[in-house]
Structures are given as C-alpha cells and as structure tokens.
Amino acid sequence: MTSPSPSPSTPPPAPVQPRAHQGLRTAACAGALLLCAHLPALAQSDIEQAGAAMAKLISALADQGVLSRDKAQVLLKDMATPATPASPTANGAAANAKPAPGAAVRVGYVPQFVRDELKRELRDDLSKQAAREGWAGPGAVPAWTRGVVIDGDLRVRYQGDLFADGNAPAVSVAETNRNRAVTLANTSEDRNRFRVRARIGVTATLDDNWSVGARLTTGSATDPLSSNQTLGTYGNRFTVAFDRAFVRWRPFEQFNAVAGRFGNPWFGTDLVWANDLSFDGLALQWTPKVGSFGSAFVTAAAMPVQEVELSTADKWLFGLQAGAEAPQLFGNVAGKIGLGYYSYRNTVGITSAPAGSTRNEFTAPAFAQKGNTYYNISADPNRPLLGLASDFSLINLTGSLTLPLGDKRLVLSGDVVRNMGFDRADVSRRTGQNVDAQTLGWQLRMALGHAEVARLGQWQVFAGYKRLERDAVPDAFTDGDFRLGGTDAKGYFLGGSMGLGKNTSVGLRWLSSDAISGPPLAVDVVQVDLNVRY
C-alpha cells in the first residue's frame, strides 16, 4: 500500500542535526549571506557567476536541512530581484558607474569553506554523470587491458562459378578419400552463392618481450584455406573455430620467435600459399639492419602438417627463407626480394600391403584440392584411397618493386617456384604410367592506387597472369579461388576496390583460368565483396 503524502499546508519537520555540525552550517549560512552582500561590488560577469554559484549553494543547504525550504525560496527570490539603482552622489556621478581603466576593483571575499563545498558538489555531480554515461575515470580500466588490441573484419561476398562448355569430368580427391568411393566434382553446372567471412582477433602485449594472440573465424572445419561460410543452409548457425593461437617472444627489436598457430611468416604470394592459410609449429625471424641500404630478413620454421598416432612418419614442412628490403632501391623506388626453400617430409602416398591391410592409409592427404599427380594406395580395390605420387621440395623466388605516385603507388610483383623433389622415375613407377615433369609455376601482378583502401574515395586496381603446373607445389595449400583451387591452372585475373567510408570498401575480382596439361577444365570466377574492418 502507498503511504499517504503529508499535507501541503504542513511543511515536514527539518531533520535534527548533530550539535557538532550546527556551528559549521551556521557559519556556512553566514558566509553565504556575506557573499550576497558583496555582490554589488563585483563586475557584471563576476556577479552572474557568483549568483549562479550562490543559488546552487542555497539549494544544497536546503537539501541538507540547514535552511528550510521557505527560507531558501525567499533567498532565491531576493537574488532574482534586480537591485534598485542608487541615487546620484553629490558630484553627480552615478554610484554604479564603471571604474576608470587601471582603477582598483573591489571583489568580495568568498570563504574557503564555501569554495570547498562548491568543489565537493561539482565533483559529486560529475561522478553521478560519469556513472550514468559510462565514463572511464582514472583507475576505472584495469591496467592489463591497456596492452590488449582487438581487431577483426567482416566480408559479405557474392560469388559466381562459371564453367565452360566441353569441360571433362574430374574426380574430387577430397570427397573420394572421404567416401572411399570414386566421387566426381562439379565441372559443368554454374553456381551462384552468397558467402560471409567473419574474423575477430585479440593480441595481448604482456611486456616488452612477450605477447600472445588468438583469432576466431567462420568457415569449415575440413577446409584450411577458406574462412567463407556459404549462406542458404535453412538458417543453420555458422561454424566458428580458432584459426590462430600463438605466443610470441621478442628478446630484442630485430628478432622474434612465434609458436602455436599463426599467420603466414613467409614473404610470398598466393602462387604457393593461399591468403587465408595459417601455419602450425615454430617460426624464427631475424631482421638485421644493413647500413643505409635497408634491412635483411631470415625466416626459419618447422611446421607439423599431420601428426600420426601409430607411426613415427609424421608429416612435416621445414622452411628457410632469406631476403632483403630497401626503402630506396634506386631513386624513390622501393624493392623487396626473398629466396625460400620449403621441404615436405613423409607426404608421398605408400600402398598398403598385403591385401586388406590399412597400415599405410594415413599417408593419404588429409586435405587436397586438385591438380597434383595421385594414385590409389588402397589394398582394397573396392575402397579407393588417393595418395600423392611426388615428393615436394620447393625453390621459391619472390620480388616486388614499389614506385610512389603522389599519394598513390604502382606495385609490380613477381613469383616463381619449382619443385626440385619431383623424380620422374619414382612417380611413373608408383602410378604405372609414364608421367612427365610439370614442376614450374610463376605469376606476374601489377597494382595501382592507394596502398590501403581505408577511407571514402580511396581506390586500387590490379591485374595479373598466373601459370602453375601440375606438380609445382602441393595443391592443398595454394590459392583456393583460381580455377576453384589447386594446380594445373593458367590464366589471368583482374579487379579493384573502392573505399565507401572509414575501413569500408567494395571490391570486384574476375579470375579466368584453364587446365594446362590435364583434362579440359575452364572456370571463370567472379567475386563482389563488401568489406568492413574494425
């Protein structure tokens, strides 16, 4: 039940104040009245400021019970009433005339306890406002959060896969190994998809030497190359997983070591490594200065590809890359070059024997696209299992030149790779056919525009040509968009992007490709992207 309100005609009794505070509050009232008495001696702007402060103080004293509401209303009313002009003095000058320049102006004294009370009230008001509006005051944010950086991006994509007439049927290596039955890939039916990629990462700097990071992303748990989630699954939720989780040690500026799952440590292009690919293992990088020329870099890494529980023949990737970077190679042209050697261990498929054995089935790749030379390693002809026929030891040379053009730039880049691990006799023996060496890959690319499309009106366009022979690189780790992934592909690509706002852009890519030596398979891929970074 609601309590009855007191009668309007009977004011509520003032709260009883402790005797220890009555003298102080009486002095406060006296100081307030003294300040009112001195108001006429102040300049007009000072009078207005003092009046506002005085009104606030009177209201506060009434709230605390020092003054009754009636008395407070009287004082406020008196303050609002204009003062009666003084009569002229004997010499005819007005009493309220402005002082002459340089003349002394008498300013009323404001007692210290009145000023302290005003400061306390102002501080209390600001604290209440900060609580309402969520301000972060000193000490309100924990110290550990100051070294934490959160970033991410969201991409919405339309993708059209356009297959040429006359394409030959093709076996899907991944689906055949998954189903243990020959499964054909789509090579004839055009496909139109909307896709989403969402990523969010956290990096925490612990001190000058240590940092950690992790990233969540959409995508498939069986495809390490793509973070895309295709829409149109009856409203089913996205698959989300960690694609990075690492610790980094930087004992001094020119050296760092990273362990766990991390981004691509190599200088290169998507000719060898897909853009969304992350790496497991340990990588060390040294970047010494080279006088006024620029800097060098050396990167060494040991990366597990597949750990096998019941065998010591785990699959590994070992890599070493060295290079140099010059901000002024000649004139204003900057240059960068890197030479790498990447060796895969225990990735060749081994046939299981005798019949019915599954001992060596782990040598089949856990993920594959298309293009490499494969052969059936299963001991059971009714349950095919495809394994790689060639070893892979890659020599890779990558270079770029950057020419500034005002606030824009022209970038020319080239990439060439050769597989030194291909042995024609071994591959032919494993497959039972005479297999020629198709082990070279190269790419040229040109980009013009702003270095980064991060604001409204910024733009960039690019074009290039790629040729990647059948066994030049493992098809599992190269670009997944050109000819819908894999090797044995040649063709051109072009596109561009335009800034729509802060960290927001729209992009267009067209990739046109065909087979080099395998069965006919020509695919055009068009991608329209809306990208947002934060």
Return all residues near 216 (Cβ < 8 A) that are at least 6 apart: 199, 200, 201, 240, 241, 242, 243
User: Per the structure block, which two tokens stand in for 165?
Assistant: 């007439």
d(CA 329, CA 338): 15
pLDDT of 20 reads 39
Taking Cα atoms as reference points, which of 347, 290, 362, 285 lies closest to residue 319? 285
Quote the pLDDT of residue 104: 55
Residue-wise pLDDT tens digits, 435-455 = 999 999 999 999 999 999 999
The single-letter code of the amino acid at 451 is A
Residue 38 has what pLDDT?
A: 47
60: helix, coil or strand? helix
User: What pTM was estimated for this model as a whole?
Assistant: 0.75
Rounded to the nearest angstrom, the gap between the alpha carbon of residue 480 and the centroid of all alpha carbons in its chain is 22
CA gap 392, 429 in Å, rounded: 17
* Nearest-angstrom CA–CA distance, 280 and 261: 4
Query: How far is it between the farthest Cα atoms of the chain?
Result: 131
* CA angle (418 as vertex; 412, 421 as ends), nearest 5: 160
What interhelical angle do 44-63 and 19-38 show, nearest 10?
A: 160
Digit-coded pLDDT (tens) for 3-60: 444 444 444 444 444 443 444 444 444 444 444 444 444 445 555 666 777 777 777 7
pLDDT at res. 30 = 46
DSSP one-letter string for 461-476: EEEEEEEE-TTSS-TT
Any residues with CB less than 8 A from the CB of 332 and at least 6 apart, and which?
Answer: 403, 404
Predicted pLDDT of residue 100: 58
**Ramachandran assignment for 221, one of left (phi > 0), alpha (psi -120 to 50 degrees), beta (any other):** alpha
The pLDDT score that the predictor gives to residue 353 is: 82
Output the tens digit of pLDDT for each of the chain's 534 residues: 444 444 444 444 444 444 434 444 444 444 444 444 444 444 455 556 667 777 777 777 777 666 677 777 777 776 666 555 544 444 444 445 555 555 555 555 667 777 787 888 888 887 777 777 766 666 666 667 788 999 999 999 999 999 999 999 999 999 999 999 999 999 999 999 999 999 999 999 999 999 999 999 999 888 999 999 999 999 999 999 999 999 999 999 999 999 999 999 999 999 999 999 999 999 999 999 998 889 999 999 999 999 999 888 999 999 999 999 999 888 899 999 999 999 999 999 999 888 778 889 999 999 999 999 999 999 998 999 999 999 999 999 999 999 999 999 999 999 999 999 999 999 999 999 999 999 999 999 999 999 999 999 999 999 999 999 999 999 999 999 999 999 999 999 999 999 999 999 999 999 999 999 999 999 999 999 999 999
